[in-house]
Amino acid sequence: MSEETTPFLELAGVTKKYGDFTAVSDINLSIREGELFTLVGPSGSGKTTMIRMLVGMDQPTSGEMRLKGRVLNKVPANKRPTCMVFQSLALFPHKSVGENVEFAMKIAGVDPARRRQRAEELLAQLRLPLDCYDKGVNQCSGGERQRIALARALAFNPEILFFDEPLSALDFRLRKALEKELKDIHRETGKTFVYITHSLEEAMVMSDRIGIMRDGRIVQVGTPHEIYNKPINEFVAKFMGEVNSLEVEAVGENMVKSKVYGDTYHVGTMPAGFTAGFLIIRPEVVKIGKAAAPMPNRIQGVVFNDYALGSRIQYQVRSATNGDPWLVERLQDEAYEGQLGDTVDIGWRPEDSIVLSE
């Protein structure tokens, strides 16, 4: 029982100031052993500062960081059981895979035979072929290099691995592949991963839980499912990607009115005591054409743009009555007969919209 109740990595009131500027503000957070926790936030929101304090490259101005109950604040970086994995897959380019993986052990003075044995274990754990050992890292593929970088980090035998936007410089396809690989590796190693990205989409793919940062604060912590379905405010809802967002006020039970455009919409539920805030409607819940006919919320509009998004098509539709622009998405194979310039119905179910107070 005590094992479950002893938190793994805990931050209590962690704050970092640079002069008058507060980069990280009063963070209270508990990260579980073995989870893949991702900090997501726009550039400048304090993500790197958080990690720098956790690995010991920087000191909090106030607050406490604890690992399994032990205060980390004063522990020097090289004595912490944490490891910063890589930035842009920064391996030693002119060394072999084996030399890269053995780096930490060589520094620690481990003898060559033992080093090699451990390196081979790590290569096997990361499903890298043994003949990789003597290859130059430049001969390895992107996926292999990620695994080598992880093998090198795991050789330090850290309790926690930190990743600061490792994939952000890579092209789209490689990034997508490596996101999934990283999730697999996380599962295989069973280590605690703390990952940073500015892309909520990337975080959604791989994380057990996500913490959303804004202006040095954590605004929401939850599973990808919770963040997607129950964003706490408009910032989180919009951070996810393109959404329809309207400033609204309550005008009756489960009924809101657009402050700018004046029209009213049925909603599934409203936060207790809701008077005004935002109505969020994801493009993919909005139906277009015949499919919109049975929907309780319906608007007539003109299609003025369409974009192929791969499996989906996105339409921009301007309301015929007030000019309000809407985003609508449908799957390629959902029937829709319309074209640009057509007047169409769009509509959605009240329970598919989200009402937020802030």
Total interface residues for ligand ADP by CB under 6 A:
11
Smallest gap from residue 29 Cβ to ligand ADP (A): 15
With respect to Mg ion, which residue has the nearer C-beta, 163 or 336?
Answer: 163
Question: Does the protein bind Mg ion through residue 197 (CB under 5 A)?
Answer: no
Question: Does the protein bind ligand ADP through residue 44 (CB under 6 A)?
Answer: yes
Per DSSP bridges, beta strands 297-308 and 312-319 are: antiparallel
Out of 23, 91, 153, 354, the only residue in the binding site for ligand ADP (CB under 6 A) is 23
> How many whole angstroms separate alpha carbon 54 and alpha carbon 57?
8
Smallest gap from residue 137 Cβ to ligand ADP (A): 27
Instruction: Lay out the sheet containing 209-214: strands in order across.
Output: 82-84, 160-164, 192-197, 36-40, 209-214, 217-222
Question: Does the protein bind ligand ADP through residue 49 (CB under 6 A)?
Answer: yes
- Binding flags for Mg ion, 281-320, as an x/- string (CB under 5 A): ----------------------------------------
Q: What is the CA radius of gyration of the chain?
A: 25
Question: Does the protein bind ligand ADP through residue 41 (CB under 6 A)?
Answer: yes
Alpha-carbon dihedral sign for residues 125, 197, 233, 248: negative
With respect to ligand ADP, which residue has the nearer C-beta, 53 or 72?
Answer: 53
DSSP secondary structure of 18-38: ETTEEEEEEEEEEE-TT-EEE
Smallest gap from residue 223 Cβ to ligand ADP (A): 22
Chain position carrying tokens 């194979």? 333
Beta bridge partners of 249: 257, 276
With respect to ligand ADP, which residue has the nearer C-beta, 49 or 244?
Answer: 49
Smallest gap from residue 47 Cβ to Mg ion (A): 5
With respect to ligand ADP, which residue has the nearer C-beta, 18 or 304?
Answer: 18
Stretch of 46-54, 171-179, 248-256, 332-340 contacting ligand ADP, by CB under 6 A: 46-54
Total interface residues for Mg ion by CB under 5 A:
2
Enumerate the H helices of 160-211 as residue ranges. Answer: 172-189, 200-206
Smallest gap from residue 178 Cβ to ligand ADP (A): 20
Which tokens hold the place of 263?
């029209």
Question: Does the protein bind ligand ADP through residue 48 (CB under 6 A)?
Answer: yes
Q: Which residue is nearest to Mg ion (CB)?
A: 48
Tell me how far the alpha carbon of residue 229 is from its chain's centroid.
14
Question: Does the protein bind ligand ADP through residue 289 (CB under 6 A)?
Answer: no
> How many whole angstroms separate alpha carbon 322 and alpha carbon 335?
27
Out of 10, 11, 16, 48, the only residue in the binding site for Mg ion (CB under 5 A) is 48
Query: Which amino acid is residue 296, in one-letter code?
Result: P
Q: Which does 92 bind (CB under 5 to 8 A by kind): Mg ion, ligand ADP, none?
A: none
> How many whole angstroms separate alpha carbon 276 and alpha carbon 292?
27
What SS3 class is residue 94?
Answer: coil
Smallest gap from residue 10 Cβ to ligand ADP (A): 20
* Footprint of ligand ADP on 2-21 (CB under 6 A): 18, 21
CA atoms within 13 A on the CB side of 184: 12
36 close to 208: Cβ distance less than 8 angstroms? yes
Can you state the percent helix, strand and coil of the chain, rounding each to 5? 30, 35, 35
Question: Does the protein bind ligand ADP through residue 46 (CB under 6 A)?
Answer: yes
> How many whole angstroms separate alpha carbon 51 and alpha carbon 84?
9
Q: Which does 41 bind (CB under 5 to 8 A by kind): Mg ion, ligand ADP, none?
A: ligand ADP
With respect to ligand ADP, which residue has the nearer C-beta, 53 or 248?
Answer: 53
Smallest gap from residue 61 Cβ to ligand ADP (A): 12
Task: Please state, in angstroms and as integers, the Cα–Cα distance from residue 111 to each residue in 105, 125, 132, following that order.
Answer: 8, 21, 21
Q: Which residues bind ligand ADP (CB under 6 A)?
A: 18, 21, 23, 41, 43-49
Enumerate binding residues for Mg ion (CB under 5 A).
47-48
